[in-house]
């Protein structure tokens, strides 16, 4: 059994029981710098959703993705790179402001498409991470949802790194943040039936996220191993 298949099977088995809301957990494979042969191998062994971080990499890989693979964009998207992603990605999960949502909406309107999106929360307001503060999303969500060429299908959140706290406090902090976002997600999807994803949790914190309401996790290295740009050259 290959390393990719072995790692993937271990994670799929770990999340097989779903979350405490009775929902299936969707595994999104984070494929930044991952070569197409590894992506194809993972798809053939049960990975059905991937996320790319770089617009040019998404553009270059797009013709070679396996048919049926659900392709998300999870990285920073500059306006001059919209043409590579809008109308091609199943969802843009990294919408970090109302202004960005408006710009994607305008671009989608010009292309004549409805673009799925997920607003991104930077739960710890960390400068090293993208996304908007949770309070900003609370304020702007309804206006985003009203944009005619966008469809909100979920929320993505980056949990804070709280390594300065004791381990028990880490878990409690991350659990509380996840529960708060889950409550907001549940409230908003009452009027938005297409909302299906609450994307919280990566390799280091996904078990806490799933235990507190996440239904999508984003895993890269734990599936594909160490990744380097040279892999795709």
Instruction: Supply the DSSP string of 154-198, one letter for each residue.
Output: EEEEEPPP-TTS-HHHHHHHHHHHHHHHHHHHHHHTTS-TT--EE
- DSSP character at residue 15: T
Confidence of residue 171 (pLDDT cuts 50, 70, 90): confident
Residue 47 lies in a domain: yes
pLDDT digits (tens, 9 = 90+) for 78-96: 999 999 999 999 999 999 9
- Pairwise CA distance, residues 196 & 69, whole Å: 17
> Does 228 reside within a domain?
no
Supply the range of the domain harboring residue 58: 3-223
Tokens for 91?
């969802």
* Average pLDDT of every residue of the chain: 92
Count of C-beta atoms within a 10 Å radius of residue 157: 28
Please give the tally of structural domains in the chain.
1
Is residue 61 included in any domain, yes or no?
yes
CATH code, domain carrying 76: 3.20.20.10
Mean pLDDT score, 38-52: 97
Classify residue 109: in a domain, yes or no.
yes
Q: Quick one: tokens of 143?
A: 């206006």
Predicted local confidence at residue 23, as pLDDT: 97
Q: What is the mean pLDDT of residues 151-170?
A: 73
In a domain, 233, yes or no: no
């Amino acid at each position: 059994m290959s390393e990719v298949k072995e790692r993937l099977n271990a994670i799929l088995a770990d999340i097989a029981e779903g979350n405490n809301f009775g929902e299936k957990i969707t595994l999104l494979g984070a494929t930044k710098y991952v070569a197409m042969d590894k992506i194809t191998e993972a798809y053939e062994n049960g990975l059905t959703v991937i996320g790319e971080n770089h617009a040019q990499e998404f553009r270059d890989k797009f013709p070679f993705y396996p048919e049926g693979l659900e392709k998300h964009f999870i990285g920073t998207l500059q306006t001059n790179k919209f043409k590579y992603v809008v109308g091609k990605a199943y969802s843009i999960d990294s919408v970090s402001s109302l202004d960005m949502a408006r710009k994607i909406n305008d671009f989608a309107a010009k292309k004549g498409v409805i673009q799925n999106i997920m607003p991104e929360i930077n739960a710890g307001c960390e400068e090293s991470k993208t996304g908007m503060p949770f309070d900003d999303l609370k304020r702007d969500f309804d206006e985003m949802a009203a944009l005619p060429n966008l469809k909100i299908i979920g929320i993505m959140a980056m949990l804070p790194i709280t390594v300065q706290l004791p381990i028990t406090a880490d878990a409690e902090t991350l659990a509380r943040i996840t529960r708060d976002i889950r409550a907001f997600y549940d409230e908003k999807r009452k009027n938005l039936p297409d909302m299906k994803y609450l994307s919280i949790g990566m390799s280091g914190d996904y078990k806490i996220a799933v235990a507190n309401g996440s239904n999508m996790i984003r895993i890269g290295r734990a599936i594909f191993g160490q990744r380097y740009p040279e892999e795709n050259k």
